[in-house]
């Protein structure tokens, strides 16, 4: 189950930091009493003291202070979309090629058969007989 992110007013943040400083108790105790994570109250205290706020990774959240990506990381970022594009092109080219079962020319003869109209060995065809050499061939009239 996901939790929605809570939003606190600036006034609440200032009062929480003021309570922390005035009470003299440990930060974890004050945070627990207020129903906060210690890191949240610690970040509010840093901001109140004039420091820039920190993100979850610990880096400053001020724009322009983020570390630039390393050349290896930039190359990897560019290489991934290129690989995906090349794969998509290959898939497209495969789909463009006609399959073996969709021959466009009727005069193509499959390798497992002889020329049309001729049976090389009628023994495998049920009820077929080999024409005798003495009988005249059947010619349509």
* 19 within 8 A of 30, measured Cβ to Cβ: yes
pLDDT 10s digits, 125-137 = 566 666 665 555 5
- Parse the chain into domains and list their residue ranges: 10-48, 67-97
Backbone angles phi, psi at 48, to 5 degrees: -65, -30
Q: Give the pLDDT band of residue 109 (cuts 50, 70, 90).
A: low
For residue 54, which phi and psi values (nearest 5 degrees)?
-110, 150
pLDDT in tens, 4-37: 888 889 999 999 999 989 988 999 999 999 999 9
């Amino acid at each position: 189950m996901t939790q929605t992110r809570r939003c606190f007013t600036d006034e609440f943040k200032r009062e929480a930091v003021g309570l922390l400083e005035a009470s003299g108790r440990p930060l974890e105790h004050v945070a627990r009493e207020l129903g906060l994570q210690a890191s949240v109250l610690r970040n509010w205290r840093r901001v109140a003291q004039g420091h820039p706020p920190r993100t979850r990774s610990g880096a400053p959240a001020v724009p322009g202070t983020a570390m630039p990506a390393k050349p290896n990381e930039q190359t990897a970022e560019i290489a991934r979309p290129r690989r995906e594009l090349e794969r998509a092109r290959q898939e497209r080219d495969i789909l463009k090629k006609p399959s073996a079962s969709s021959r466009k020319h009727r005069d193509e003869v499959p390798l497992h058969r002889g020329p049309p109209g001729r049976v090389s060995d009628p023994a495998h065809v049920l009820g077929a007989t080999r024409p005798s050499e003495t009988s005249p061939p059947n010619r349509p009239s």
